[in-house]
Each structure stands twice: as structure tokens, then as C-alpha cells.
Amino acid sequence: MTDWSEVWLIVPVYNEGQVIADVVRHARQTFPNIVCVDDGSKDDSAEGIRAGGAHLVQHPVNLGQGAAIQTGVEYARRQPGAEYFVTFDADGQHRVEDVLSMLERLRSEPVDIVVGTRFHGRSENIPWIKRFVLKTVVMLSRRTRRLGLTDAHNGLRVFNRTVAEQLDITLNGMGHASEIVEMIDHRKWRVVEEPVTILYTEYSMAKGQSLINGVNILFDTMLKSKAR
């Protein structure tokens, strides 16, 4: 059996009390080290995290997904033996088997970060607005195209300790994904994509695939493209 004790999953959580315990339990069957950052949830997410057996860090107020990821990475990189880090969604969209494939590439190839892509793999019921926004983000971002990334806003990422030590997310909300792409470019992290399957369930689509979320991502990208 492979020892995954060097791997830490970082899970940003906001009002995921319905599913987080099951998500954590399933992931812990493979990865024993998981830290969930409860980003000011108003439901029983914290209880679910504890029930699932993950480490729990709490923000007193909702700061945003970017802030939760940064908090989780800072916590994980302080843990003895931590060498590999994974950002993993709380709503059940990400698959453990994809993480394993990404870790294999990170360990065997000369790369610092592996980013999942929905557009070379298979995604269940991907919402049309999500597909439109993500394709448009790539079209508008010269940096994303130059790096060869097709799905920069994919939340499934696996990276080494070099990236974890240098990661410094300052955009607390959804704009953090574009900021990570900037860091990949500026800090010369070696990046590759890995095809992944995203599971768009009725629950996850109700939680996070709204039109307003898509518009916010697109608006943020347009502002950044004009600023360059």
C-alpha cells in the first residue's frame, strides 16, 4: 500500500454541512492528512468536518475561497513531513483517482504544479455558462494561453513544497485563480495540465454554478486584461 503521509489536502469550506463529512471520509480512505478551512460558515460545516476526521481551521467571518486556500496551505506546510499539497473542493466535484494521477506526474516529472483540466477529460453535466466563461477566460488572457493552460479556474491543483512556500494569495474571492496563474508565470513554476473528471451534481450546481458567479469571474478577467 502506498504511503501518502507526505500529501496534504486543503479543502476550503463554506456552508457545505450537507456533504462535507462524506467528502472528507471518502478522501481519507486514501489520504490521511486533510485540513478543512471553514470560511465563516453559517451552517453545521464545522461539525461535519470533525465527524469526517479532518483537521479544522476556522475563519470567524466569510473571507472568500482564496483566503481559505491560503490559510489551509499555511497550516499544511507547517506540518512535519508535508511535501505535496492538493487544493480540493468541498462539494464532491473532485475525484480522488484524479488526485492520484496528478501526484504521479508531480513525483515523476520535472514539474512544480499540476493543474486539472475539464477540457481534455470528461465532466458530467458541465453547465453551459461555466463552459462559456472558462473558454472566454482563456481567450482573454494572454498569460494563460502562453502557459498552455486551458482551464485556469479549475480548483483541483497538486503542487510541491516550493510552490507551497512561495504561494501568497492576496485576492480573497474567486479572483485567486487568476492570481495563481500570475504566480506560475512570474515565479517560473513548471506547470502541466492533467485531464480530470468534474462531477457536476445537482447539489454542486445549485451551490456554485450560478450565472452571477460566472459573470464575476469573467468581469475580473476582463479588468486584469485591460490593466496589462
Report whether pLDDT(40) > 80: yes
User: Could you read off the pLDDT of 113-163 as tens digits, one per residue?
Assistant: 999 998 765 554 566 555 555 555 555 455 555 666 787 788 999 999 999
pLDDT at residue 211, rounded to an integer = 43
User: Identity (one letter) of the amino acid at 192?
Assistant: V
Q: How many domains does the chain fold into? A: 1
SS3 for the chain is CCCCCCEEEEEEECCCCCCHHHHHHHHHCCCCCEEEEEECCCCCHHHHHHHHCCEEEEECCCCCHHHHHHHHHHHHHCCCCCCEEEECCCCCCCCHHHHHHHHHHHHHCCCCEEEEECCCCCCECCCHHHHHHHHHHHHHCHHHHHCCCCCCCCCCEEEEHHHHHHCCCCCCCCCHHHHHHHHHHHCCCCEEEEECCCECCHHHHHHHCCHHHHHHHHHHHHHHHHHC
Q: In this structure, is residue 217 part of a structural domain?
A: no
Lowest mean pLDDT among 23-37, 56-70, 179-193, 199-213: 199-213
Q: What is the CATH number of the domain that holds 168?
A: 3.90.550.10
Over range 33-44, report the average pLDDT.
98
Q: In this structure, is residue 193 part of a structural domain?
A: yes
Q: In this structure, is residue 21 part of a structural domain?
A: yes
Over range 43-68, report the average pLDDT.
97
CB neighbours of residue 85 within 10 Å: 28
> How would residue 94 be classed by pLDDT, with cut points 50, 70 and 90?
very high
Q: In this structure, is residue 211 part of a structural domain?
A: no
Report whether pLDDT(216) > 90: no
Q: In this structure, is residue 120 part of a structural domain?
A: yes
Q: In this structure, is residue 222 part of a structural domain?
A: no
Higher-confidence residue of 188 and 227: namely: 188
Range of the domain at 25: 7-126+148-199
Q: In this structure, is residue 115 part of a structural domain?
A: yes
Q: In this structure, is residue 160 part of a structural domain?
A: yes
Mean pLDDT taken over the chain: 85
